Structure 1
Amino acid sequence: MILGLHHAQITIPKGAEDEGRKFYCDVLGLPEMEKPETLKGRGGFWLRVGDRDVHVGTEDGIDRTKTKAHIAYQVEDIDYWREVLEQNHIEIFDSVPIPNFKRFEFRDPFGNRVEMIQEI
């Protein structure tokens, strides 16, 4: 029986952890979590998002701009997040409308597709 979602993982290029932290921790305000000692040598970092984790791993040779795979962050004030991202020169893409939600998409500095979504 599947009980729930434990974590999701995205990837950034090897050696891009400082830039990743700048975007995910400073711009998006997500707190970094301590990785277990046994995994620290692999690079990357972990984030806490509500009651779940997002693991930011590292890998090279991936064109992240070519995939529809994405992570969606549920937010309270989607207009605030649009403004924050635009102020940080992140291009916003409007999403196909779905009932009872406002949402938009963007690519993080590494090409990962990200969605912001707010229930209305």
Structure 2
Amino acid sequence: MLTSVDHVQLAAPPGSEPLLRRFYTETLGMTELPKPPPLAARGGCWFQAGTIHLHLGIETDFHPARKAHPGLRVTDIEAYAARLESHGTPVTWDTNLPGHLRFYASDPVGNRLEFLE
């Protein structure tokens, strides 16, 4: 039986780990998790905030996910959007989901991220 989502993996191009680390830790406020040594040899990064786990895996023929995306719940969404913008990350508000405030942003390699409250 399924009980929860363990993690979401997004792809990233080779050599992008410094950009990813800066964005996911400084901009989004996540914590980087150490990867097990056999997996660390493949590159990429793992991040966590509370029960949210995002893995960024290296893909040689990388193409950003512009439609597929994780939907991340936040509190005080206006302040969170301002945080992203203050770090140079544009946000796009979307009012098409009744009963929710939400916006979209992209990570530094172009992957789409949705934030909801």
Superposed structure 1 runs of 4+ greater than 3 Å apart: none
Whole-Å separation in 2 of the counterparts to 1:114 and 1:30: 14
Whole-Å separation in 1 of the counterparts to 2:63 and 2:45: 20
Aligned-CA RMSD value: 1.5
1:33 paired with 2:26, answer no
Whole-Å separation in 2 of the counterparts to 1:79 and 1:53: 23
**Percent of aligned positions with the same letter in both sequences?**
34
1:76 paired with 2:75, answer yes
Give the TM-score normalised by the residue count of structure 1: 0.88
Q: Partner of 1:64: helix, strand, or coil?
A: coil
Give the TM-score normalised by the residue count of structure 2: 0.90
Deviations 1:67-117 (A, max 9, x none): 310112110110011111111222211224212210000111110000110
Deviations 1:32-82 (A, max 9, x none): 1111122110001111132242111111323316x3101121101100111
Q: Is the 8 A contact 2:29 2:49 kept in 1?
A: no
Query: Which structure has the highest strand share of the two?
Result: 1
Q: Partner of 1:70: helix, strand, or coil?
A: coil
Whole-Å separation in 2 of the counterparts to 1:56 and 1:32: 11
Gaps of 5+ in 2: none
Gaps of 5+ in 1: none
How many residues get paired? 117
Q: Aligned partner of 2:109: which letter?
A: F
